[in-house]
Amino acid sequence: MARVLISDALSEAAVQIFKDRGVEVDFQPDLGKDKDKLAAIIGQYDGLAIRSATKVTAKILESATNLKVIGRAGIGVDNVDIPAATARGVIVMNTPFGNSITTAEHAIALMFALARQIPAADLSTQAGKWEKNRFMGVELTGKTLGIIGCGNIGSIVAERGIGLKMRVIAFDPFLSPERAMDIGVEKVELDQLLARADVITLHTPMTAQTKNILSAENLAKTKPGVRIINCARGGLVDEVALRAALDSGHVAGAAFDVFVEEPAKTNPLFGHPNVICTPHLGAATNEAQENVALQVAEQMSDYLMRGAISNAVNFPSITAEEAPKLKPFIELAEKLGSFAGQLTETGIRKVTIVYEGEVANLKIKALTAAAIAGLLRPLLSDVNVVSAATVAKDRGIVIDEVTRAAEGDFEALITLIVETETQTRSVVGTVLNDGRPRIVEIKGIKVDAEFAPSMIYITNEDKPGFIGKFASVLGDAGINIATFALGRDREGGSAIALVAVDGVTPANVLAHVQAIAGVKQVKGLSF
């Protein structure tokens, strides 16, 4: 019989689900605080169910000789060493959607609290004052609600905002116009949202693209009197710049549930009369905690008893028999997706994946999941191979799979075609006998390049002198070229260079490359 250890406080209903599914349960809700005791007994269990208190380190995993699955009741898995778990073949699952309604409701609650100054009015009234004139509020009806990030939680907030008779606009590069229409929001660019919104609420993950998305520069573009809400991630807003905008009166108020440093003992926003702060309560309702507990128990039971994998953050749903042949193509699909995703800056309408030759006979759903996860991850960092299809669907992205017999020089090819609002991009890859994935065509131009941790992608006019100038720029910057792959559509036409380099190329060096005559696009890539 499979055995599961629950080392954090979890609903009794979750314990019952394990028992009902034929799984033996050891419920020790305080064990997560004692890492030595956890390490001493973890080897007895097939599954470990946790919340945030238990830290599953590489050392703990070394002792987990029988562990097959870790289930996190909640979305964040920062307390699990994912690489170490993956190296040991341990599936790590989370429950990404159990907190969605609760977090959305908290954002709405903070919006009302800001609009009517409820916390300050409560303190004043209970202090024996009666300051009706001091706490003049604003109506939300008819106001414009701007949502940055309109995925699962953002779309729930949009629905609630529409119910409040607000005008709802959204900025999300991955939200298709069709999906926006379905949920009743107007899709806009970020600058439009900043200029029009009376209330801005953030519901996007923290990525390189979204860090400080409300910077000092962008805060200056907002409508005077705007109110800002952040229940998503600390660091999406420049807290120092926001404090200055509050002090000047440009921003009328702010309500934050998340902060750059947590627990937030001090913060630039603290003490301002028009700021409301809560201690990361977005998921803190009885219903949400019950939902994620039940969900993680069901997922872990399904895996241990039937081999089904749901919401895994580190592994696709494949069998042991399929793994050896499928693994290199999963890597290829994910890297082709990542290549396209790192070059995509506008909303994606459709993704077509063509499987040609022997790869068409493999489990293409796992390959598609890997490709979509790679495609979306540059902007949506918490996407995994299991959740990718759902995340794409939430944003109205159409996914089309095509299989066909081999027609060219390769026994197996994967072609990824990404249609955005402004262009169509295609990239083709294969796996050769050495098992290494490689790119063989970009935008119809033949090229032959292995993936490397750091690369530079360049499109340019096919004219003499480019290679020398490019190499000089990198040489002057002390950047070593590992490999250099070139391709062109015709003599004097369009050319592509895919260059592997040692280390990440700084932005100023990429800018110097962009300035070379004939260069159309330059992008630093990482894999």
Tell me: pLDDT of 100 over 70. yes
pLDDT confidence bin for 202, thresholds 50/70/90: very high
Share of the chain above pLDDT 70, in %: 97
Q: Which whole number is the average pLDDT over 320-326?
A: 68
Cα-atom radius of gyration of the chain, to the nearest Å?
A: 25
* Tens of pLDDT, residues 250-270: 999 999 999 999 999 999 999
Q: What pLDDT shows up at residue 322? A: 66
Q: What pLDDT shows up at residue 498? A: 94
Q: Which whole number is the average pLDDT over 470-486?
A: 93
Q: What is the rounded CA–CA span in Å between residue 459 and residue 262?
A: 43
Q: What pLDDT shows up at residue 320? A: 47
Of the listed ranges 11-15, 83-87, 110-114, 402-406, the one predicted with least confidence? 83-87
Please confirm, yes or no, whether 306 is among the known catalytic residues.
no
Rounded to a whole number, what is the distance in angstroms from the first to the last CA of the chain?
40
Question: Of the residues 88, 272, 280, 425, which is catalytic?
Answer: 280
- Return residue ranges of the chain for CATH 3.40.50.720: 3-97+287-312, 100-277
Q: According to CATH, what is the number of the domain 100-277?
A: 3.40.50.720
DSSP state of 223: P
Q: Which whole number is the average pLDDT over 39-49?
A: 95
The class of domain 3-97+287-312 in CATH terms is alpha beta
pLDDT confidence bin for 12, thresholds 50/70/90: confident
* Tens of pLDDT, residues 63-95: 999 999 999 998 878 889 987 887 777 889 998
Q: What is the rounded CA–CA span in Å between residue 209 and residue 217?
A: 15
Helices (H), 307-429: 323-343, 364-376, 388-394
Q: What is the mean pLDDT of the chain?
A: 91
Q: What pLDDT shows up at residue 6? A: 95
Question: Of the residues 72, 179, 233, 243, which is catalytic?
Answer: 233
Q: What is the rounded CA–CA span in Å between residue 354 and residue 307?
A: 28
Q: What pLDDT shows up at residue 317? A: 56
Answer with the residue of higher pLDDT: 392 or 110.
110
Question: Of the residues 178, 262, 287, 421, which is catalytic?
Answer: 262
Answer with the residue of higher pLDDT: 466 or 220.
220
Please confirm, yes or no, whether 233 is among the known catalytic residues.
yes
Q: What pLDDT shows up at residue 323? A: 63
pLDDT confidence bin for 55, thresholds 50/70/90: very high
Tell me: pLDDT of 508 over 80. yes
- Return residue ranges of the chain for CATH 3.30.1330.90: 316-442
The class of domain 316-442 in CATH terms is alpha beta
* Tens of pLDDT, residues 176-187: 888 999 999 999
Answer with the residue of higher pLDDT: 489 or 352.
352
* Tens of pLDDT, residues 105-161: 999 999 999 999 999 999 999 999 999 989 999 999 999 999 999 988 999 999 999
CA nearest to 229, candidates 242, 216, 220, 241 = 242
- Looking only at the bridges linking them, the beta strands covering 398-404 and 348-357 are parallel
Q: Which whole number is the average pLDDT over 365-383?
A: 85
Please confirm, yes or no, whether 262 is among the known catalytic residues.
yes
Tell me: pLDDT of 376 over 70. yes
Q: Which CATH number fits domain 448-527: 3.40.50.9100, 2.40.50.140, 3.30.300.160, 3.30.70.260?
A: 3.30.70.260
